[in-house]
Structure 1
Amino acid sequence: MQIHQMSVTYLPEQDRILMRINTVEGEEMRMWLTRRLMVGLWPLLTKLLTEHLLKLESAGASLSGANPELKKMLADFRKEEFLQHADFDTPYKEGQPRLPLGEDPLLVTDVDATPLASGPLRLNFNERPAHGDTKPRSFQMEMQPKLMQGLMHLLDQALLQSQWRESFVPATPPEPSESGDADPSRPRYLN
């Protein structure tokens, strides 16, 4: 399967993200991504893509002793480079595609992500229904780093629109003030 186009859209009335993938063969895969799924998937994909980009960078030089800030800068640079060459202006091709997964989008319950030695990242999207009367469905694709970065960009836009992303970033505790209070604007009570 060769990917032609991808579309990632947050639908507020569903409170879900609809991901659609068009193939060169005229097939379309449709998947629902829920907030519960994205809480675990977003950090995993971000980590895997960053590690893969660092492997590409380190092909010419050793980064094993580099500090984390330098590694992050190099990965961010590579991401920006990929995004500059991506085509986000061409509208997603609507039409009457073949739907191998059926008319209803796959309600993704879990994703298996495996970086392959040859370069791409293999993603296996699974729908494991809670009821035994429905047959499990799945969809697998392999994405090169450039395409994966494009998908991450589209997911990031949908996450910003959904306002889910704030909950993905761990809250940092407030710095204690000089008087020892964790939050000086908060009222204090004495017993």
Structure 2
Amino acid sequence: MQIHQMSVTYLPEQDRILMRVNTTEGEEMRMWLTRRLMVGLWPLLSKLLTEHLLKLESAGASLAGANPELKKMLAEFRKEEFLQHADFDTPYQEQQGRHPLGEDPLLVTDVDATPLANGPLRLNFNERPPNGASKPRSFQMEMQPKLMQGLMHLLDQALLQSQWKEPFHPVVGSEPPHDEGDGNRPRYLN
């Protein structure tokens, strides 16, 4: 499968991220990414991409003794270099092609990420319905570092739009209700 285009969009009415992947064969895979999934997936993908970029960097020079700040700087430089050559201006082509996963997007429950020795990162998106309610579905793709960095950029934009990366802050001047029994224990109502 050859990836042609990717689209990552936050849909506020669903409070989910819709990820779509077009292939050169005219297929489209659609996946829902939830906040619960992204809380664990975002740091994992960031770490794997940084480690992979450092491996590529160290292939030409020894970084074994380099300090962590230098390694981080090199990885950030490589990421910026990839983004400068990426095409984010071409609109995603809405195709009436085949949907191998079905019309309904895959509700991703977990992602297996495996860095491959020859360069790409293999991502396996899984939908495992609770209690065997329906047949599990999955989708696997391999991404070279440039394409992976493009996906990370699109995910970052969707995360900023969703405000999922921002920590929860209590409203200033409000306190949680207290239990009337002892007066000290906070009580949270659902």
Q: Is TM (by shorter chain) over 0.5?
A: yes
CA contact (8 A) 2:26 2:95 kept: no
Match of 1:125 in 2: 125
Which residues of 2 match residues 32-181 of structure 1 at below 5 A?
Answer: 32-167=32-167
* Counterpart residue type for residue 13 of structure 1: E
CA deviation digits over 1:52-104, x for unaligned, max 9? 00001001111111111100000000000000000000000012020000000
Secondary structure of the structure 1 residue equivalent to 2:66:
coil
CA contact (8 A) 2:10 2:162 kept: yes
Q: Does 1:4 align with 2:15?
A: no
Alpha-carbon shift at residue 127 of structure 1 (Å): 0.2
Unaligned runs of 5+ in 1: 169-191
Match of 1:23 in 2: 23
Structure 2 length-normalised TM: 0.87
TM-align CA RMSD? 1.0
Report how many residues are paired.
Answer: 168
Question: For residues 81 and 161 of structure 1, what CA distance do their matches in structure 2 show?
Answer: 24
Alpha-carbon shift at residue 167 of structure 1 (Å): 3.9
Question: For residues 101 and 18 of structure 1, what CA distance do their matches in structure 2 show?
Answer: 14
* Counterpart residue type for residue 76 of structure 2: D
CA contact (8 A) 2:17 2:33 kept: yes
Structure 2 vs 1, CA of residues 167 and 138 (structure 1 numbering), >3 Å: closer, same or farther? farther
Structure 1 length-normalised TM: 0.87
